[in-house]
Chains A and B, each alone.
Chain A
Amino acid sequence: MVFAPIVILLVIAAIIYFVSASENGGVPEIAVLSEDQQVQAILQAEEEQFEVNTEITTVEDAETAMEAEELDGYLVVEEENGVYQGNYVYSPDSQDVDTYYLTGVLSSVQQIQQAESLGLTQEDIASILTPATLEQTRIEFEGGGITTTESAEDALRMGSAYAVGIAVFMFIMTYSSIIGEEIASEKGTRIMEVILSSVSSTIHFFGKLVAIVLICFTQIAIYVVLGAIALQLDFVQDLLQGIDISAIFQGLLGTSLAYFILGIVLYAILAAFLGSLVSKVEDVSKAVTPIVFLSLAGFYAGMFAFYNPTHMIVKIGSYIPLFTSFIMPFRVASDTVTTTGVMISIVGLILFVLLTTWLSLLLYRSSVLIYSDAGMFKTMKTSFKAMRRQQKV
């Protein structure tokens, strides 16, 4: 359980590595069939996008080489009245060549040729060919003042929000099934009866919750330690070059952490309650289905918020306690929510957690001793009745 996410990460990394390795199996090799020396010279100078095979000069040779998969394609360039026309020929087996780049090269050659034919000087040509520049500056209005942020930091914050979203989802899925199973198996084996003749159901309920949350923290602590160890390794440091680790941690700590913990606690309570409704461990997966759907919905709402942090659905969803943990981190990261909004959502979440705890506890004591194969709603109804009766006495 602890290492599964790491294994998954490693597998994904390996897949990405192999895919990119197979794509970068050398740069594509093309032939340039043109009588224009300038075109030849410019294209031959290129090394990153492709390599030019200078030995092939005819279409026949090029096609033979392509059939033997020694060549990825060939470019035929013809010039007529100062207009360049290129035709890039490739086969399905070829590695992709950036044709925009080819177009760009041909365009600039054409422009230079035409400029020269118009009798412009080198300086004139240079100034004509210099592209206009566009810079982006983002400003934010906070506390009456205007602040500028760099977009790199922004991306990093969105990245850590993304990580929180995935982590919340993964932890909820793992721990809700664990806690549901724990309780259903204690109920199913009647150990619950022995336990409840020793301690109150409230203590048992909270004991289970605390235990699960502590396991969860242990798991996180293991990741932190592993991460700290990994940071000491040279190749990891190479990978992370240019990334500000402390910025990531700033994104992860603070409000995101609060959403993370509250989210897990909320779903753990729900799972404990749902687990108490079934009599057999086999039925647990059925019982925790609502949690699976809710957290899936939350997860996708979070993904949606990643792209549209200002959408109305996102705004509303972020204040629904069941989804807050998934959506709010993205809104915080994209700075589309005010501090007041954050506080409201956290307070709302805490209140909802307390309310859920209270309701679950009320029903828990009765539901945990009802053994019926009737559906969960029937059990809930029965335990509700039992609770009412108990309160009357």
Chain B
Amino acid sequence: MLEAKHLKKTFGPLTAVDDVSFTINEGEILGMIGQNGAGKTTTFRLILDFLTSDSGEILWNGRPLTKADYNIIGYLPEERGLYPKVTIEDQLIYFGRLRGKSKKEVKPLIDMWMEKFKVKGKKTDKVKSLSKGNQQKVQLIATLLHEPKLVILDEPFSGLDPVNAGILEEGIKELRQQGACVIFSSHNMNNVEEICDHLLMLRDGAVVLKGPVKEIREQFGRTKLFLETPMSQQELNELPGVENVKKTNEGIYLLDLEDASYGKQIFDIVTKDGFIPTFSQQPPTLEEIFKLKAGEPHE
């Protein structure tokens, strides 16, 4: 279990991380979102002890992380890098040995992981001969090969196509099953929504959203209504509680409601002539919440 308590970090006049607390239990995934410069990477660096916090503490199973715990950490830095002139195999063995695994233990695992992440190329290929996406997968393997218990992934999805992002999602979910604490940052709200148990949103170093994804969304109320109906945009605009009507490309109307409670009233009106294909009342998406929160004026 990883606990961060009231972390604070300043760089001169800039407060990069301001009173951030969170807990990740074993087998849980924490997604960290926030705009660029919100303090995500700084938080990771505080966890890894690359930076010393001004105040607050980080506890791993109730005690501070020490050098003895290094072998259970898997860390993927935001900017990717491998030794370009070293083969995939040697590279993975090196990183495995850095984490306390022997060459003998690592060697048989390499094929399995390369298969799992569908890395194109032989393990005797030099890294510089691989495409960027494949290099990134090799680095992911290097991060996960030693079966870490605390996994820190800084923007793991950036640069991956949807298929590969899917493979990575599966990989992260597998880590959860193995009982690892996973913390990752992402700009892609779909990935976040899909896999994380808890969500933490930072803005200017401070926590603005925290909790399970579903709860956060519900918190904002089901104010989005997707509607497929023969009625015109004008008629829909005049329905009770409707603030705004947009027509999407697929011919489905998207209504912004003043309050979720208008839903039932609208349902009765639009279904008075019988069947309609779509009536879906939903909370705002994470992306909408993200934009909303990021744009909110400071308190």
Give me the interface of A with B, judged by CB distance under 8 Å: 188-191, 193-200, 369, 389-390, 393
Partner of A199, one of B48, B79, B98, B142: B98
B67 within 8 A of A: yes
B73 within 8 A of A: yes
Can you spell out 9 A-B residue pairs with CB atoms less than 8 angstroms apart?
A190-B77, A191-B81, A191-B83, A193-B50, A194-B98, A194-B142, A198-B71, A198-B98, A389-B52
Q: A198-B99, A390-B52 are in contact. Are A191 and B82 (CB under 8 A)?
A: yes
Query: With the chains together, A197 CA to B45 CA distance in Å?
Result: 10
Closest to A390 in B: B52
Chain B residues 69 to 91 lying within 8 A of chain A, measured CB to CB, are: 70-71, 73, 75, 77-84
Closest to A365 in B: B50
Measured between C-beta atoms, what is the minimum distance from B13 to chain A in Å?
14
Residue contact A197 to B75, C-beta cutoff 8 Å: yes
Measured between C-beta atoms, what is the minimum distance from B16 to chain A in Å?
13
Residue contact A190 to B95, C-beta cutoff 8 Å: no
Interface size class of B (residues with CB under 8 A): 20 to 34
Residue contact B82 to A197, C-beta cutoff 8 Å: no
Query: With the chains together, A195 CA to B75 CA distance in Å?
Result: 10
Which B residues touch A200, using CB under 8 A? 67
Measured between C-beta atoms, what is the minimum distance from A120 to chain B in Å?
85
Residue contact B79 to A197, C-beta cutoff 8 Å: no
Residue contact B81 to A189, C-beta cutoff 8 Å: yes
Residue contact B52 to A393, C-beta cutoff 8 Å: yes
Residue contact B50 to A369, C-beta cutoff 8 Å: yes
Query: With the chains together, A190 CA to B95 CA distance in Å?
Result: 13
Residue contact B77 to A193, C-beta cutoff 8 Å: yes
Closest to A188 in B: B81
Query: With the chains together, A197 CA to B52 CA distance in Å?
Result: 14
Which A residues touch B84, using CB under 8 A? 189
Which B residues touch A197, using CB under 8 A? 48, 50, 70, 73, 75
Residue contact B81 to A195, C-beta cutoff 8 Å: no
Partner of B80, one of A190, A196, A390: A190
Residue contact A196 to B81, C-beta cutoff 8 Å: no
Residue contact A190 to B70, C-beta cutoff 8 Å: no
Measured between C-beta atoms, what is the minimum distance from B285 to chain A in Å?
32
Measured between C-beta atoms, what is the minimum distance from A16 to chain B in Å?
38
Measured between C-beta atoms, what is the minimum distance from B72 to chain A in Å?
11
Query: With the chains together, A199 CA to B48 CA distance in Å?
Result: 11
Partner of B98, one of A188, A189, A190, A195: A195
Query: With the chains together, A191 CA to B80 CA distance in Å?
Result: 8
Closest to A201 in B: B50
Which A residues touch B78, using CB under 8 A? 190
**Residue of A189, A193, A369, A393 with highest tally of chain B CB at under 10 A:** A193
Which B residues touch A393, using CB under 8 A? 52
Q: A194-B142, A198-B99, A199-B98 are in contact. Are A189 and B50 (CB under 8 A)?
A: no
Which B residues touch A194, using CB under 8 A? 75, 77, 95, 98, 142-143
Residue contact A189 to B82, C-beta cutoff 8 Å: yes
Measured between C-beta atoms, what is the minimum distance from A215 to chain B in Å?
16
Q: Which 4 pairs of residues, A with B, have the shortest CB-CB distance?
A: A189-B81, A198-B98, A190-B81, A193-B77
Query: With the chains together, A264 CA to B48 CA distance in Å?
Result: 34
